[in-house]
Amino acid sequence: MKIRIENATKVYDTGMMALDRVSLGIEEGTFISLLGPSGCGKSTLLNMIAGFIEKSGGRILIDGKDVDGPGGDRGMVFQEYALFPWLTAIENISFVQKLKGVGKSERMASAAHYLNMVGLSAHASKFPAELSGGMKQRVAIARALANAPSVLLMDEPFGALDAHTRETLQDELLAIWEADRKTVIFVTHSVSEAVFLSDRVVLMGANPGHMREVFNIDLPRPRNRNTDGFVAIERKIHTMMREDSKVTT
């Protein structure tokens, strides 16, 4: 088991319980989506796996080792891109390797490889202000991959993009994932996005955040959003989410 989450709980100093005893096992190389309404603890759980937020109870293990802080085995991609505005695209990608003391020629060659992987070789010397939202997110993904993590954590990375760009990046992300099969945990509000991308969809509920249901998405890839099987899974998840909202409102 690549990642094991055992009764993970988060209670803030105010006494608010954000996450209540979540348990989940994630096999190596699988693509998992965390889905649910605002306030259900999706991002909290993701940040606990990243080591950015300290858990209040339970255990989170990666390759059998307890997560007790951030580590190079995990790469993080945020919705806000989080690029350094004073660095070019290729410099943003090579930044972490520079901090590690990797030589310039080696880190620039690596950055160029990942920039090519996300289709932005022609934009290597551009600054973030000169890039579109979709391009910025491609750079952010390339930067996360350049650190060679075994786990890629993604917090609504396409949430701020228009529908066409979002679907294009979904296709590109799957192509990258299928090439090296990293373990991916992807947070989203979109049922369609979760079903399209994932091997499993973890549906979470709120008040406090908890695991509601796990759906195995046994659809062949590449997936077509218009097939009966795809629509049936979407409908099932939507129905469960509506039932939850009636209980909590």
Domain-ending residue, one of 148, 167, 200:
148
pTM score, whole prediction: 0.93
pLDDT category at 82 given cuts 50, 70, 90 is confident
Peptide bond into 222 cis (omega under 30): yes
Output the pLDDT for position 96.
Answer: 81
Same domain, 185 and 170: yes
Output the pLDDT for position 61.
Answer: 97
Q: Per the domain annotation, does 155 fall within a domain?
A: yes
Same domain, 244 and 160: yes
The span from the CA of 186 to the CA of 181, in Å, is 14
CATH of the domain at 174: 3.40.50.300
Same domain, 120 and 173: no
Q: Per the domain annotation, does 78 fall within a domain?
A: no
Domain-ending residue, one of 148, 171, 187:
148
Same domain, 211 and 232: yes
Model confidence at 245: pLDDT above 70: no
Q: Per the domain annotation, does 102 fall within a domain?
A: yes
Same domain, 163 and 186: yes
Same domain, 66 and 160: yes
Same domain, 107 and 225: no
pLDDT tens, residue by residue, 23-61: 999 999 999 999 998 889 999 999 999 999 999 999 999
SS (HEC) of the chain: CCEEEEEEEEECCCCCEEEEEEEEEECCCCEEEEECCCCCCHHHHHHHHHCCCCCCEEEEEECCEECCCCCCCEEEEECCCCCCCCCCHHHHHHHHHHHCCCCHHHHHHHHHHHHHHCCCHHHCCCCHHHCCHHHHHHHHHHHHHHCCCCEEEEECCCCCCCHHHHHHHHHHHHHHHHHHCCEEEEEECCHHHHHHHCCEEEEEECCCEEEEEEEECCCCCCCCCCCHHHHHHHHHHHHHHHHHHHHHC
Same domain, 142 and 158: no
Q: Per the domain annotation, does 92 fall within a domain?
A: yes
Q: Per the domain annotation, does 167 fall within a domain?
A: yes
* Average pLDDT of span 118-122: 93
Output the pLDDT for position 246.
Answer: 62
CA count, 13 A, side-chain hemisphere, 159: 16
Same domain, 185 and 213: yes
* Average pLDDT of span 125-138: 95
Q: Per the domain annotation, does 79 fall within a domain?
A: no
Output the pLDDT for position 101.
Answer: 84
Output the pLDDT for position 242.
Answer: 85
Same domain, 156 and 144: no
pLDDT tens, residue by residue, 203-219: 999 989 999 999 999 99
* Average pLDDT of span 163-190: 93
Q: Residue 152 forms beta bridges with which residues?
A: 75, 184
Same domain, 167 and 52: yes
**Nearest-CA neighbor of 234 among 198, 184, 210, 183?**
198
Joined tokens for residue 29:
């190389």
Residue type, position 53, single letter: I
Domain-ending residue, one of 103, 122, 148:
148
**Residue-range definition of the domain harbouring residue 104:** 85-148
The number of domains in the chain is 2
Output the pLDDT for position 248.
Answer: 53
Q: Per the domain annotation, does 191 fall within a domain?
A: yes
Q: Per the domain annotation, does 38 fall within a domain?
A: yes
Same domain, 120 and 181: no
Model confidence at 249: pLDDT above 60: no
Please report how the helices 133-146 and 104-117 are oriented relative to each other, as an axis angle in degrees rounded to 10.
Answer: 130
Kindly give, in sequence order, each residue whose CB lies less than 8 Å from that of residue 226, ignoring residues fewer than 6 positions away. none
Q: What is the residue-averaged pLDDT of the chain?
A: 93
Q: Which of the two residues, 186 and 244, has the higher pLDDT score?
A: 186
